[in-house]
Amino acid sequence: MTDNDGTTSSDGTDPVIVADDLQLTFHHGKQETKALDHVSFRVERGTTLALVGQSGSGKSTTARTILGIQKPDAGRAIVCGSDVHDLSQRELRLLRQKMQVVLQDPFGQLNRRHTVGRIIEGALIAFNRGSRRERRERVAELIRAVGLDESYLGRNPRELSGGQCQRVAIARALALQPELVVLDEAVSALDVSVRAQILNMLVQLQKDFGLTYLFITHDLAVARYMAHDIAVMHRGRIVEHSDRDTLFANPKDPYTQGLIASIPVGLPRGAAVRAEFDRRLELQLEDG
């Protein structure tokens, strides 16, 4: 990995996240668990870093530390130039406009007592963005950006499918024009066909808005598709971190090798299937 001491962009890079030697130990009675064991990485603006690993590997704890929800024992988490854990509550709250999160559970993360419109607008109200009318316009813009239409704004999350809920959660995350979006298993609970749509949308939104993603997943195939760089976590440590081509072509760490080897690869795709995919892809591209 590269050096981790800089928060400035003197080397021509523009990191949105700098995690610098994060350490955290959880104590349960006499037992100790190293949740974060010298975790360091950077994520450059407009790129995606995937954190992959199994349950308990420290992926979500890393995200929580970056978001300022979990304080590390040592080390720094720097987002958009600010040390997240060295800010006052007020400053942290302001920084939260720049970093948003989308979670796994499509239904659990939306307030069921509110309409979709109110859920998205909530982020704007919390930070006093715009007049009532401006907010309404922005909400309409956002719901269209995530591929739904304005008829959804009056609905309740209970009336939506998992994929639609996840689109709403993404719209809410984008409301404040963040620089960083943390996606914590954000597509894991979705059906295959819905997941494909959401992933395509996330890629497009990243291009359109120059977003930086911290993409947490246990699914290596999804990580490979989404991320520029991939960090593999195991027992609180990043055991391997490289660009995606290198990671899959030449995994160095035995744990990474094991992880890749344990993925069922039994889906041989014949020529006919490939041809059909290409045909549908072309139709899709024509559709815009």
Partner 1 sequence: MTESAVTVENLVVTVPGATGPVRVVDDISFEIAAGNVLGIVGESGSGKSLTALSLMRLHRSPVRIDNGFIRVAGTDVRSLAERELDAFRGNTIAMIYQNPMSALNPVLTIGNQLVEAIRIHNKVSRRVARNQATDMLAEVGIDRPADRLDSYPFELSGGMLQRVVIAMAMSCNPRVLIADEATTALDVTTQARVLDLLRGLIEQHDMAVLFITHDLAVASEFCDDIQVMYSGRIVERGTAREVFEDPRHPYTLGLLGSLCTLDMELDRPIPTMPRDIAELSRLAPAIDHAALEVQELR
Q: Site residues (CB under 8 A) for partner 1?
A: 54-55, 162, 191-197, 199-200, 203, 218-222, 224-225, 248, 258-260, 262-270, 272-273, 276-277, 280-281, 283-285
The Cα 102–Cα 171 span in angstroms is: 10
Q: Cα dihedral sign for 247, 248, 252, 254?
A: positive
Secondary structure E strands in 176-271: 180-184, 212-217, 229-234, 237-243
Tokens representing residue 181 in the block: 């979006």
Nearer to partner 1, 152 or 255 (CB): 255
φ/ψ (deg, to 5) at 91: -65, -40
Residue 176 or residue 222: which is nearer to partner 1 going by CB? Answer: 222
Residue 201 beta carbon to partner 1: minimum distance, rounded to whole angstroms: 10
Provide, rounded to whole angstroms, the least separation between the CB of residue 82 and partner 1: 33
**Closest to partner 1 by CB, 126 or 281:** 281
Nearer of residues 12 and 270 to partner 1, judged by Cβ: 270
Q: What is the DSSP string of 83-121?
A: EGGGS-HHHHHHHTTTEEEE-S-TTTTS-TTS-HHHHHH
**Helix, strand, coil percent values for the chain (each to nearest 5):** 40, 25, 35
Which one, of 216, 183, 218, 219, lies nearest residue 201 by Cα?
A: 183
Nearest to 142 by CA among 174, 107, 166, 114: 174
Give every strand in the sheet of 237-243, ordered side by side: 99-102, 180-184, 212-217, 48-52, 229-234, 237-243
User: C-beta of 260: minimal distance to partner 1 in Å?
Assistant: 8
| Smallest distance, partner 1 to C-beta of residue 32, A | 18
